[in-house]
Structure formats: C-alpha cells, structure tokens
Chains A and B, each alone.
Chain A
Amino acid sequence: MIRFIIIFIFLTTIINAREVGQTEITTDEGIEVYQKEKYYLLKKNVDIQSDNFNLKANQVKAFFDKDLYDIINIYSKGNVILESKQGINATGNEINFNTKNENIYISGEKSYLSNKNIIMKSDGSIEVKNNSGKFNLFGINSKIITTDLEITGLKIEGNYIFINGENVVENLNVEDKTQIYIKTKTLEMYALKADYDKKNNIIELFNNVKIFRNEEIITGDYAKINTLDETYKITSNKSKKVKVLLNKIND
C-alpha cells in the first residue's frame, strides 16, 4: 500500500496573556456569525476580556459595525457579570451593554449595578446612561444606596454627577403604589412619592407621609425636608392636622 506523506496545516494555539488592545473571547459551544445581520452569537460559558471591560455570561449576542472586531452592542443573558474599567460592576439575568457609550440595561431578578459609591438593585430593571448619569430603576425591590441616602420604591429615576472622585445623586424622583422609603443620616421617611433636589438640598414627600427621627414620628400629606440641617415642614390636606407622636426615651 502506497503511503503518502501528507503535509497539512495543523492549527494550534499558543495561549499567552491577552495583549493590550486585544479583545479575547472564549466560548464552550462555539460562535454563530451572521454576516448580513451583523451580529454573532457566542454560546455557553462566554468569557470576554478586553481593555475596557470584562464580561461573563451563558450566552452573548454581539452586534458589530464594520467587521467582527467592531463590537458596538452586547446583549448577554444567563448569570451575566460585567466589570467595566471605568468602575461599573453589574450582574443580572440579562444585560444589554453599549460598548461605545457604556449605557447599560439590566433586567430580571436580583439586577445589580454599582458605580463607585452608588449601588442600585432591582428585581425588575436598571438602566444607566453612563455619559449623562441618567438612571432608571423599575420593579419590586428597586433600591439606590449612596453615601448619604438609601431610597426604595417601585420606580426610581434621576441622574448623578461625578464630583471629587465620587458619584453624587443630583436629582431623583421615586414613586410606589404602596410605599416609598428614604433614609438619611438622621431621618427615615415614608410616602407614596418623593422628589430629591441636591442643588437646593430639598426632599419633598407626597401622600401618606411619615417621618421618623429618633423617638419622634410625624405624619401628614406633604413634607419638605432641608437635607443640610435635616429640618422639615409637614402639612396635611384633609384634616388640616399634622400628627406628632413622641415616644419617651428610657435613659
């Protein structure tokens, strides 16, 4: 039997650390490239390592512009973990990440995003436009925690700005059908709706307002709180009465 010496190119990979400027993507079950539609599907245990961000997920749909290297948007689902080199950490069932402007949309239970000192949580969705600082949380257990504030509600929207190495919430609107909750250093507040304005140092509370400070409980329909000295004015629409409960402190 005649034997031929077959020379063929055997493809091997020499795996070193990722070089600067490169994006390295690994998957367990391959890639589907759709040239016409300009996207590719990365399947099972996807791991993306790049200069600007790292992402892990069960499945990823990457949309590209000029060619495969030019990723403009990444939609990931299944145990998604995103770490941006700009300080954003996000986890969730589904994350849509625009690689150009770093806009992020997270959805599903236990959605989580932190950006330096701001933490956002929701069992619905979290959307952050990183360039403008606009954010939007919707769904049960939606919560924002900052250095000074803790806010819980069904719908939270507002924006933050970057000052002295920290992200500071500039303004905020919170709504809930049952109850919103705001906690500052000395106050705990409940209402159906609240507006926060950092520039004027004001929190306004609307409907079913309750304010707790130490042993003092004040209820009414509207409250205006000065966040600098944490003084407040509270009014009641229907009864024209404001209820104040003072609990005795046992020394």
Chain B
Amino acid sequence: MKIALEEVISNEENTSFDIANPSFTINNEGKKISVKAKKGKFLNKNLILLENEVIFKSKQFRLLTNKVTFNQKNQTAESKQSSKFHSDGTTIVSEGFKITEHGDIILFNGKTILILNK
C-alpha cells in the first residue's frame, strides 16, 4: 500500500482568527509534543480551534490534520477530520483522532488504516 499526500487548493469562506501561526507544547515526562498550525481561534478561555496544516510533532511521531480543537488547560486535542500519523515504520490514516494523557494515549477514530513497514 502507498499513502500519498495530495495537495488540494480550495476556496473557503473566511473565518476570523485570533492567532497566526499558533504554536503550543504538550509537556510529557521526558518528551515534548509541539503543536503548530497556520491559524488559531479562541473558542473560550481554554479551547482553541487550530486550522490549516495542523502538525503535532514529537521525537516519536508526527501527526497531521487540518482542523483540531486544542485544550490548553488539559493539554488534550481532538479532530474530526482526516488525519495522518507517522512514526518509525508506522503510518496511520484515520477519520479523526483524540490525544489525551499528555500524548500517551492517541485514539484514532472511524475507518482506520495502519501500515507497518518493518
């Protein structure tokens, strides 16, 4: 199986945003997960909607999607959009995900394909 990234250009209704190129960190014991996106919008005090090229990156994995709700306080994240996870020898494509326990638990939702390469 080959999993390819296809760049798609789409016109979308502009939604206002509060932060350009937002960047956060999920702190875990001995490892950090950086969270980056093109846009961010505060939904309330703790919840931020991250949009466009949202990337979760740690030494162990990289997770890409297009829209994520990030909770600053709990350091959790949830997406209901197509997502792609990469780690050593592993690719996971799912219909969404949820990150909890500071990144120790990742739940991939919906129909999911996991490719192991080693």
| Complex CA–CA separation, A22 to B1 (angstroms) | 8
B11 partner, pick from A5, A17, A19, A67, beta carbons under 8 A: A5
| Complex CA–CA separation, A42 to B108 (angstroms) | 10
Residue interface bits A1-37, CB-to-B below 8 A is 1, else 0: 1111111111111111111011111111111111110
Residues A62-84 near B (CB distance < 8 A): 66-71
A31-B92, A32-B105, A67-B87 are known contacts. Are A3 and B8 too (CB-CB below 8 A)?
no
Do residues A7 and B7 form an inter-chain contact, with CB atoms below 8 A? yes
Residues B13-69 near A (CB distance < 8 A): 13-14, 52-53, 60, 64-66
Q: How many A residues touch B, CB cutoff 8 Å?
A: 43
| Complex CA–CA separation, A3 to B10 (angstroms) | 11
Residue interface bits A109-150, CB-to-B below 8 A is 1, else 0: 000000000000000000000000000000000000000000
With a cutoff of 8 Å between Cβ atoms, the chain B residues found around residue A14 in the complex are 1-4
B interface secondary structure, majority: strand
B19 smallest CB distance to A (angstroms): 15
Chain B: number of interface residues, binned into ranges: 35 or more
A108 smallest CB distance to B (angstroms): 26
A30-B94, A35-B104, A67-B89 are known contacts. Are A24 and B1 too (CB-CB below 8 A)?
yes
Interface centre among A6, A22, A34, by most B CB within 10 Å? A6
Do residues B113 and A3 form an inter-chain contact, with CB atoms below 8 A? no
Do residues B14 and A1 form an inter-chain contact, with CB atoms below 8 A? yes
A37 smallest CB distance to B (angstroms): 8
Do residues A25 and B116 form an inter-chain contact, with CB atoms below 8 A? yes
| Complex CA–CA separation, A23 to B95 (angstroms) | 20
With a cutoff of 8 Å between Cβ atoms, the chain A residues found around residue B114 in the complex are 24-27, 31, 42, 68
Do residues B14 and A4 form an inter-chain contact, with CB atoms below 8 A? yes
A14-B4, A16-B1, A31-B94 are known contacts. Are A4 and B115 too (CB-CB below 8 A)?
no
A9-B66, A27-B111 are known contacts. Are A69 and B117 too (CB-CB below 8 A)?
yes
Residues B85-116 near A (CB distance < 8 A): 87-90, 92-95, 101, 103-116
With a cutoff of 8 Å between Cβ atoms, the chain A residues found around residue B65 in the complex are 11
A238 smallest CB distance to B (angstroms): 63
Do residues A35 and B112 form an inter-chain contact, with CB atoms below 8 A? no
With a cutoff of 8 Å between Cβ atoms, the chain A residues found around residue B73 in the complex are none
Do residues B116 and A68 form an inter-chain contact, with CB atoms below 8 A? yes
A11 partner, pick from B89, B93, B118, beta carbons under 8 A: B93
| Complex CA–CA separation, A9 to B64 (angstroms) | 8
A86 smallest CB distance to B (angstroms): 19
| Complex CA–CA separation, A15 to B115 (angstroms) | 11
Supply 23 A–B pairs (Cβ within 8 Å), ascending by A.
A1-B13, A3-B14, A5-B11, A8-B10, A10-B6, A10-B8, A12-B4, A14-B1, A21-B117, A26-B112, A27-B112, A31-B112, A31-B114, A32-B106, A33-B108, A35-B103, A66-B88, A68-B87, A69-B90, A69-B116, A69-B117, A69-B118, A70-B118
- Given A25-B116, A32-B107, A68-B90, 7 other A-B residues pairs in contact with their CB atoms under 8 A: A8-B52, A12-B4, A12-B5, A26-B111, A26-B114, A30-B95, A31-B112
Q: Give the top 7 A-B pairs by smallest Cβ distance, nearest first.
A: A69-B89, A23-B116, A25-B114, A10-B8, A69-B116, A68-B90, A11-B82
